[in-house]
Structure 1
């Protein structure tokens, strides 16, 4: 299955939405989108909307961790939003639910 990635940004905040499966084959698409977004502008907050992600493997988790590291190095906040049960379970099993800030829903771009 393909992975579709879209971004929206406003006033230093960005939401990156992913739809599909986040795995070895598709993770580079999300990685490229995050790199492009961070290369284009200074962001205080990046939220990755996982509501459309049906599956995520370790490669996908590594892309998310790498994105978080890059945003934090710049003094920003990196958050995950609305993971489906399968993705939420991976976060819990790996302990990454304590590493990432995870929201039940996607915050509005202008929310803090």
Structure 2
């Protein structure tokens, strides 16, 4: 299964949308998108997980590393709309208390 990653950004805020399976083989694609946003000094990153059907430990590590880098410089990193399978992984690992998880994907500010 593939992983498609797209990014929309506006005024220092970005939404990264991932669709497919996030695993050892596809995680570098998400990592590259997040690294580009970090280089661009984006201060709020929301990762839309509504299209992610599976996420393994490699995928979680990519998300954790990006969150750490964003928070180190005072930014905000959120996971949005995880499917039940991904939400279960977050709960079982305790990462639901580490990540900021929202039920819906916030819209980019219109201003």
TM-score exceeds 0.5: yes
Matches within 5 A, 1:55-94: 55-94=54-93
Query: C-alpha distance in 2, partners of 1:37/1:43?
Result: 6
Q: Map Cα deviations across residues 16-51 of structure 1 (whole Å, 9 max, x no partner).
A: 000000001100110011001211x22221000000
Superposition misfits of 4+ residues, deviation over 3 angstroms: none
Q: Map Cα deviations across residues 3-25 of structure 1 (whole Å, 9 max, x no partner).
A: 00000001110000000000011
Matches within 5 A, 1:30-109: 30-39=30-39, 41-109=40-108
Structural RMSD (CA): 1.0
Q: Secondary structure at the match of 2:104?
A: coil
What TM-score, normalized by structure 1, do the two folds share?
0.95
The Cα shift of 1:75 comes to 1.1
Q: Map Cα deviations across residues 44-80 of structure 1 (whole Å, 9 max, x no partner).
A: 2100000000000000000000010111112100000
What TM-score, normalized by structure 2, do the two folds share?
0.96
Matches within 5 A, 1:13-28: 13-28=13-28
Ranges in structure 2 where 5+ consecutive residues have no aligned partner: none
Query: C-alpha distance in 2, partners of 1:23/1:42?
Result: 26
Ranges in structure 1 where 5+ consecutive residues have no aligned partner: none
